[in-house]
Structure 1
Amino acid sequence: MQQLRVTRARRVALIGLAGALAVSISACADSKREEGAGGGSGGSMVFGAAGNPKTFDPLFNDDGETFRIIRQMMDTLIMNKPGTADLEPGLAEKWEGSNEGKTWTFTLKKGVKFHDGTPFNAEAVCFNFNRMFNMKGAAAQSQMIYYGDVFEGFAKNEGDAAGAPVFKDCQAKDESTAILNLNKAKGAFPAAFTLPSFSIQSPDALKKYNADNVTQSGDSFSYPEYALKHPTGTGPFKFESWDQAKGEITLSKATDSPTQTAKLDKLVFKVIPDENARKQALKAGDIQGYDYPSPADYGLLRNDGEQVLIRPSFNILYLGINQANNPKLKDPKVRQALAYGLNRDQFVKSKLPEGAETATQFVPKAIDGYNENVTKYPYDLNRAKQLLKEAGAEGMTLKFYYPTEVTRPYMPNPADIFTSLSEDMKAMGIKVEPIAKPWNGGYKDDVQKAGKQDVHLLGWTGDYNDAGNFVGTFFGREKAEFGFNNPELFAALAAADAAPAGEAHTKAYQEANQKIMEYLPAIPISYGPPAIVVGPKVKGLVASPLTDERFYTVTVN
């Protein structure tokens, strides 16, 4: 079998830049910077996290801060080559698509064990995929965001789940051969197999700690013991503890990791919600790195000797519009008015780092399917006011939701972004009702599950190199976040997703992107090159355009 790889000529120069961007992460967590840590391996490091984890079971997670931790503990069948969006072996040595893309055969690494000592084999692979497919309970299914986006449906859909399943069955041909059969081809594969949500976990641990017992009370979800205390994978680090009172997650070196051997003995993630506090902690040597520093701080950080590493842009920030919550937003003239009335060019120049660009659509330029000829909405305040007048929406009030306790690659400072865009809305004559909520403390549930907002800030960093991972995720079906039903658009995205890789696939997404920008279900704001910052003694971290950094390469200077 020939190993399959995803390569995109249009983005090689852009994504390939990250391959050379290796930096270090660092230093003994128990020592101040000036004391040093000594040695080139072993020891500990502390990384500043912006928010608390959601759940360590990757199947029920859609949060980047948590995925950062999960990626250190768990492996997928296929992984991304460090510093790129290209594919390389993970737990599978080889993979092959056949039957017109409806069958995927994985040749697995031998002699691999989970952190609990149980064997990794084809039966474990099939257990994991069958677990996803056969998941019971509306609460559990509703939290499987990535499974729903990629595999679309369950053996028995409950709650809001309604799609026909892509997954058919999984066969363990022998100990080292797993065969995944699909009901239909999907252009997202094989790249989607890199998603951390599809990490292979220990069947014994999943069963022992009742991993599927997700419950819901109102807008809140509760997760079982497995997800909070016993996540069990095959990665270079293993779970040790989560001290919620101190906001510290501690991982320790997995000495028998089959995929990569960590150089650090311990890796600690310390939750520091405030970005300025993270910066001060880095300067003091209390942490050795953090993600998404404010663009305004790049120069100051470098002057202090910190290493600011800029990733290539592989993301989108958008202003979400919920048509179901406010009848006026159903009128296309109102949505167009918002698009014309937001001074996005000025926002990008004043609030985002060098290299950021105003977005014209919901996929970045590096993705095949980007369409230069989509309908565009340049800043025109007078036109915005006129459209609002024609729609009878002058003086309308919008509940504008924005998150706290988070920084994202596309959204380095949510409060600043809210202020900038809300001032533009006020200039149009719109009244703005601000509503701020913690990212993992109600914001995502209110916006994506309950649809309580009129407009909101959100965005996306690509998980793999396919336009469907952007526009299909956003607009491929009815979602509470956007509150619209457009069968024509859904059908166009479904056809693009099923189109064979290559020119047909690209053209189908270009056409779908044109339809999206005509309908305007939300407003694309910007593409931003995010940064990650580490101390001067840090070595070995490879920055990823997918924010898929792995810490097993880190050493202490």
Structure 2
Amino acid sequence: MRPKWGTLMKHTTMGRRHILRSVAASVALSLAVSAVAATGTSAATRPSAVNAKTGGEATVAINETFAGFCYSALVAGTALNGMSTIFESLFLKAKNGDPIGLLASGATSSSDFKTWTITLRPGISYTNGQAFNADSAMENLNYIRGAKYVPPATNLWTLGVGVAGFANITSLTKIDDLSFTVSLFKSQNDFPISLAGIGMRATAQLATGVTCSSTPIGTGPFTMSSWSATELVVVKNPNYWRKDPARPTVKLPLLDKISFIVVPESSQRAAAVRKKSVDMAFFTGRTDNTYIADLQQRKSVVTVYSSPSLFYPSLYLNQSNGGPFSDVNARLAVVNCIDRANFNKVRLKGRGETPTSVLGSLNIGYSKKGFTPFNPTKSKQYVASYLAANPGKTSLTFTVPFESATQVQNNAKFLQETFVKCGITMNILTEEQAVWAGKAYNVVTGKQPYDALYTAGLTDVVAVGNFAVFATNQFPADSPNPLKGFFRNTLGPLYNLTRHTDTTIDDLLWQGRAASTKASSKAAYQAATQKIQELGIMTSIANFGWSLVSNKKSKLSAPGSIAIVKGQATQAVNPSWTDWAGISKG
């Protein structure tokens, strides 16, 4: 269902609570299902792009629906991937997590990492002819971070999760047409990475709720031809600015047209790419491993490009709702009763990474310290301690919502049956994602009602996205951000699904951001991870990757065949971004 943001336009002076109710559902689902700026690399050998041809069309099967093109639209994962053909961000992420300039040519910081100067590439325009410059970049960032919300509020249909994500920004200042400064409250050594995946939109798109949602105007290699909830068709932008850095005379994009079609069932996606009903299809290692494994055996028919296991879904134990997890013994009982090795073997067909930390082994904050392996005996001891401290309780029982999809329910039942071995009862509440996310990410009350949630959130090799998940609040108590008064108790803790209140973890996270060397930054982030694990605040189950499968008869070049900048490789397989400009049809 598409949000009716146009109704907000008429009431720019409405009360804060009314506004928050209007954006609540949108923010919730965006947070719950987005793999914002997640990373991946191709496991297959990439063919040379030297002989890449121009022209041709491609059809790509994805698993997420389209719901509009504004910042606050209910769009996630592979639907964002389709939209990335239209919208471009200031930066992208390299394989190692370093920023690569896309619309921006670079970023420099003050010695304390509190002031960043962003320099833009010249000669770039939106597809409606508007120049992309400092004014446009600042306009986008001010809308995203909620600066327009401060009375007299305007364009409230743009209000979304960026308010929390960019809570550290205090102001933006134009230097000239191609550069501006960003002033931060606290030091942030990785600030440019936080701008990766934030698509820039033309002023005309942002003008009204209707245009923002339905009329996408970006700088990207393609423009929208048509769209519905289940299909996005884009056609070549003839005035696109990029060229192949290895062949400077070759203008991008190489394809003329791409159709992204929604095929929710993984079995149907697998059949479609095998039979060439579609040219390419995305698959998630969280639920689609049976089909990925089968496709990998069909080497004469398809090519499978896969990412490492860079997605770390976790069990978030809520300390704030009156359930059992305000007691550390209850939390430690649960985290000691996760049979990760068998979950990976049985549910992920051995294709995932069996966790030894709440973060994957490639992440800067990865630490084994304080992490608890499967130990039913120890779990039972913590159950006994919990019951002794809570004489009114006769069992350690908690409830978790899971979607109705067969594979999701099977994941839930595996966990449920394992907990029985430790004397723990996990009740399965069947609720679709849109339902439980609307309650868990409640921007009106800031409350999280569920005992626990098993969902995504942690990802990547860098700390940017995970910072928000681990921190107690995105608006520190001493923040001078004028939005703090509006959002500290609602959007501020929204990513913190456990609602833990341990600010020593915040201190370690900010130390990581302020560090002048990667080694000292890593040490601080690892210390925060250790603290989270020792307190049983949350725990991992199994880490997974994504796969992009191409039918060989389609003769499409591999993702990532053409560099954004010569010598700098981006992630090739990523559910939310693919360099479609560089893919050709031979």
* 115-124 vs 355-364, which moves further: 355-364
Aligned with residue 272 of structure 2, among 281, 284, 295: 281
Tell me the distance in 1 between the aligned counterparts of 2:193 and 2:349. 29
Tell me the distance in 1 between the aligned counterparts of 2:156 and 2:45. 39
1:544 and 2:538 matched: no
Q: From the superposition, tell whether residues 546 and 268 of structure 1 become closer, same or farther in structure 2 (CA, over 3 Å).
A: closer
Tell me the distance in 2 between the aligned counterparts of 1:92 and 1:414. 40
1:434 and 2:428 matched: yes
Q: 3-state SS of the aligned residue for 2:559?
A: strand
Q: From the superposition, tell whether residues 554 and 296 of structure 1 become closer, same or farther in structure 2 (CA, over 3 Å).
A: same
Are the aligned partners of 1:59 and 1:147 in contact in 2 as well (CA < 8 Å)?
no
Q: From the superposition, tell whether residues 506 and 104 of structure 1 become closer, same or farther in structure 2 (CA, over 3 Å).
A: same
Q: 3-state SS of the aligned residue for 1:492?
A: helix
Q: State the match for 2:438 in structure 1.
A: 445
Are the aligned partners of 2:232 and 2:259 in contact in 1 as well (CA < 8 Å)?
yes
Tell me the distance in 1 between the aligned counterparts of 2:159 and 2:455. 18
* Letter of the structure 1 residue corresponding to residue 361 of structure 2: K
1:482 and 2:494 matched: no
Q: State the match for 2:259 in structure 1.
A: 268
Pairing 1:346-385 to 2, within 5 Å after superposition: 346-352=342-348, 354=350, 356-372=352-368, 374-385=369-380
Q: 1:169-223: per-residue Cα shift (whole Å, max 9, x none)?
A: 22332222222232332133222221x2x3221123212xx2xxxxxxxxxxxxx
Aligned with residue 417 of structure 1, among 402, 411, 419: 411
Q: State the match for 1:121 in structure 2.
A: 133
Unaligned runs of 5+ in 1: 1-14, 25-38, 153-165, 211-223, 407-412
Shift of 1:124: 1.1
1:44 and 2:57 matched: yes
Tell me the distance in 2 between the aligned counterparts of 1:184 and 1:141. 28
* Letter of the structure 2 residue corresponding to residue 418 of structure 1: A
Q: 3-state SS of the aligned residue for 2:83?
A: helix
Shift of 1:114: 0.4
Pairing 1:31-110 to 2, within 5 Å after superposition: 40-58=53-71, 63-81=76-94, 85-110=97-122
Q: 3-state SS of the aligned residue for 1:556?
A: coil
* Letter of the structure 2 residue corresponding to residue 500 of structure 1: S
Counting matched residue pairs gives 486
Aligned with residue 257 of structure 1, among 240, 257, 267: 240
Q: From the superposition, tell whether residues 518 and 228 of structure 1 become closer, same or farther in structure 2 (CA, over 3 Å).
A: same
Q: 3-state SS of the aligned residue for 1:457?
A: strand
Aligned with residue 382 of structure 2, among 372, 384, 387: 387
Q: State the match for 1:314 in structure 2.
A: 310
Q: 3-state SS of the aligned residue for 2:195?
A: helix
Tell me the distance in 1 between the aligned counterparts of 2:335 and 2:362. 23
* 527-536 vs 339-348, which moves further: 527-536
Q: From the superposition, tell whether residues 509 and 78 of structure 1 become closer, same or farther in structure 2 (CA, over 3 Å).
A: same
Unaligned runs of 5+ in 2: 1-38, 244-251, 388-392, 474-492, 561-570
Shift of 1:96: 1.6
Shift of 1:525: 1.7
Tell me the distance in 1 between the aligned counterparts of 2:315 and 2:86. 34
TM-score by length of 2: 0.75
Tell me the distance in 2 between the aligned counterparts of 1:291 and 1:255. 27
Tell me the distance in 1 between the aligned counterparts of 2:170 and 2:226. 37
Q: 3-state SS of the aligned residue for 1:95?
A: strand
Are the aligned partners of 1:84 and 1:545 in contact in 2 as well (CA < 8 Å)?
no
Pairing 1:145-544 to 2, within 5 Å after superposition: 145-149=161-165, 151-152=166-167, 166-194=168-196, 196=197, 198-207=198-207, 210=208, 224-244=209-229, 247-259=230-242, 261-292=252-283, 294-304=288-298, 305-352=301-348, 354=350, 356-372=352-368, 374-392=369-387, 394-403=394-403, 413-439=407-433, 441-449=434-442, 451-460=448-457, 462=459, 465-477=461-473, 478-479=493-494, 481-536=497-552, 537=554, 538-542=556-560, 544=572
Shift of 1:125: 1.5
TM-score by length of 1: 0.79
Superposition RMSD on alpha carbons, in Å?
A: 3.0
Q: 3-state SS of the aligned residue for 1:458?
A: strand
Q: 3-state SS of the aligned residue for 2:164?
A: helix
Shift of 1:63: 2.5
